[in-house]
Amino acid sequence: MARNAYYQTTHWRSLKQSCHQRDGWRCTVPGCQTPTYRLTCDHIKRRPNVDHPTALDVLSNTRTLCGNHDAQVKELASGKRRQGGKLIIKGATVDGTPLDPNHPWRRLDGRGRVDP
């Protein structure tokens, strides 16, 4: 299947860059064991298959995923997402706290600030 022409536009390239910068160039799945592997910018809500920017092509509808987590939710040819778009989170506690002591989310204090 040919890739949608939208993904060749400067709009997409800029959105993708902003997404990765916001997320610190790391997969946003808590406790991800491959946080910098083949990063992709994922649409949280699926965008329509059109070649121009839509209301869903905004920063708030994106997240950075590593190649492993992107593959978990990647759309099938039918347009449906694998596992209904649900991510399997390994390496995190039930509340989503990463087990990896070096994950930036582990360094957040109770107010969302990074502890020094």
DSSP 45-112: SPPPS-SS--TT-SGGGEEEE-HHHHHHHPBPTTSPBGGGGPPP--SB-TT--BS-TTSGGGGB-TTS
Largest CA distance in the chain: 47
| Span interacting with Zn ion, options 56-64, 68-76, 91-99, 102-110, rule CB under 5 A | 68-76
Among 19, 39, 41, 66, binds Zn ion (CB under 5 A): 66
- Give CA–CA dist 39/107, Å, rounded: 22
**Is residue 38 within 8 Å of 67, Cβ to Cβ?**
yes
Among the listed residues 69, 87, 98, 103, the single contact to Zn ion using CB under 5 A: 69
29 scored as a contact of Zn ion (CB under 5 A): yes
Rule CB under 5 A: which of 40-59 touch Zn ion?
none
Residue 19 beta carbon to Zn ion: minimum distance, rounded to whole angstroms: 14
Among 32, 39, 41, 87, indicate the residue that binds Zn ion (CB under 5 A): 32
- Shortest distance, CB of residue 10 to Zn ion, whole angstroms? 27
Site residues, Zn ion (CB under 5 A): 27, 29, 32, 66, 69
